[in-house]
Amino acid sequence: MKIRLGFGMGAWPFAERNYNVFYDFVDNCESWGVDSLWFSDRIIGKGATLEPIVTIAALSGRKGMMKFGTNALIMPLRNPVIVAKELATLDFLSNGRLLLVAGLGGEDPREYEACDVSKAERAPRTDEAIQALNLLWTQDEATFHGKYYNFENISVEPKPVQKPGPPIWIGGRSDAAMRRTGRLGEGWLPSAITPQECRDGIEAIQVYAAESDRVIEDDHYGVSIICAIADTKEAALELAAPALARRREDVGLESYTALGTPEMIQETLNEYVEAGITKFVLRPPGPPGVWEAQAERLAKEVIAPMQTPWTEKELIERPL
């Protein structure tokens, strides 16, 4: 199975609020051999977070090997017909380089209120939206009648390059997220989760999928993880501390982060590989100015040694 490692971006991580800095970083990631860039979804908030669909659209026409993903797209806040059109277009223009993780969103009720959606409805809305996307991407005339979304005999063109459509992975480490993955998803990408929890989650998802007469591919399990690289674990922990304000209280911090020297980080990530994880979204910590240096070191000293090389077929399909 292919081991793939990319970077996750939350709030604007660069010292300058300048678009050229962002594009320079994307070019650097391409030259470093980073597999993918993932963009968080925050509709409201004081932190400058790039809207993921618009951001991927800005990058989708660029030549290269990197893929671009949402982690996670807040499905209940968006009309699935519009999203189906947007994502199909992105997949078409990027030649199949779109990665999609769908989620329910955060806990702040104001985000749902601002989008005229009840937070209590977010789970069933997400389920309906995922079903609607799959129909719109695979059928010439799609019909769907749900509690929240309804359409009849409509077509979305162009269809995605990926067939039958971009695989929809599910974010979240709750049992409900695992059940949703088994029933509707094509993969699973949780965060703040230990290797053992990943192993247990994969086993649970396989059971839930079997109950729905479905199979999740073995290489469709990933994890989003904070990684801080430094000469010592203590220095890495100090660097990561501001990014870990919302720590889990039920397990130790080091059990769901990768901190320390390149060798320590690789050892931690390999524990996830042994648990069944093959896709990684690394989230460097640090303030603007430090974040870029963290990303570069991780790319050169962790991603490059661990990542499965791109195949000849991939190189032909996505020439640099």
Whole-number pLDDT of residue 167 = 98
Q: What percent of the chain has pLDDT over 70?
A: 99
69: CATH: 3.20.20.30
Span 235-255, average pLDDT: 87
Contact, 53 vs 86, CB < 8 A?
yes
pLDDT at 75 over 80: yes
Span 131-149, average pLDDT: 98
Segment 85-139, tens digit of pLDDT: 999 999 999 999 999 999 999 999 999 999 999 999 999 999 999 999 999 999 9
Whole-number average pLDDT of the chain: 95
What angle in degrees, to the nearest 10, is found between the helix axes of 291-298 and 19-32?
10
Q: Which of 201-205, 231-235, 313-317 has the lowest mean pLDDT?
A: 313-317
Reported confidence tier of residue 319, pLDDT bands at 50, 70, 90: low
Entry pTM? 0.96
Q: How far apart are CA 97 and CA 90, in angstroms?
A: 8
Question: Minimal CA–CA distance to 282: which of 238, 235, 240, 220?
Answer: 240
Q: State the residue range of the domain holding 309.
A: 4-317
Three-state DSSP at 278 gives coil
> Peptide bond before 241: cis, by omega within 30 degrees of 0?
no
Task: Please provide the DSSP assignment of 110-151 as one string.
Answer: HHHHHTT--GGGHHHHHHHHHHHHHHHHH-SSEEEE-SS-EE
Number of domains in the chain: 1
pLDDT at 287 over 90: no
Q: Which residue has the higher pLDDT, 183 or 249?
A: 183
Segment 219-241, tens digit of pLDDT: 999 999 999 999 999 999 998 88
Q: What percent of the chain has pLDDT over 90?
A: 87
pLDDT at 316 over 80: no
Span 277-282, average pLDDT: 98
Task: Please provide the DSSP assignment of 209-267 as one string.
Answer: HHHTT----TT-BEEEEEEEE-SSHHHHHHHHGGGGSS--SSS-GGGSSEEESHHHHHH
Reported confidence tier of residue 320, pLDDT bands at 50, 70, 90: low
Span 266-293, average pLDDT: 95
